[in-house]
Chains A and B, each alone.
Chain A
């Protein structure tokens, strides 16, 4: 659970839930926005991680 990936998933989950509830009023729209945000966070995190992987940081 305390792996980098696990914590990223947990963080994305919390932020996506709050933003979806804030920005939409209808539960169906909230669910749709939540899935888009959550998927976007995960995809962006994984893509950025692979882009940074070759850099000597």
Chain B
């Protein structure tokens, strides 16, 4: 069960917590004492991201010449450290001829977008709005 934190953090500290929440999915909730939610995000979001890579999805490059690709890259980066680990391991290329390529892309993109929602939730909690 979640144990809501009663403390209202300063904007700077709230942003610091948000940065942690972005870097490691669930870390912000864990920091604020919402253990159950933090553990759920810590397990689910990296697992969804890893599923996308397993399905041979691609981490899109940030290319402003192709606005949709750039938006997908922003969504991918929303995943934080797991994104960096995937890049470092060189598994970001995907395989466009794979039957699961598009599924993989969507798993990766949605995992990043969900983590952004989690970051917004962390900000609200840190500022005492929830």
Number of interface residues of B (CB under 8 A): 24
Within 8 Å by CB of B44, from A7, A17, A25, A27, lies A17
How many residue-residue contacts, CB under 8 A, span A and B?
45
Complex interface: chain A residues within 8 A of B48 (CB): 14
Cα-based distance from A7 to B100 in the complex (angstroms): 9
Give the CA-CA distance A7 to B54 in the complex, in Å: 12
Decide if A11 touches B37 in the complex (CB within 8 Å): no
Interface string of B89-104 (1 = CB under 8 A from A): 0000000000110010
Q: Which of B106-123 contact A (CB under 8 A)?
A: 106-107, 110-111, 114, 117-118, 121
Report A's interface with B, CB cutoff 8 A.
Answer: 2, 7, 10-11, 14-15, 17-18, 21-22, 25-27
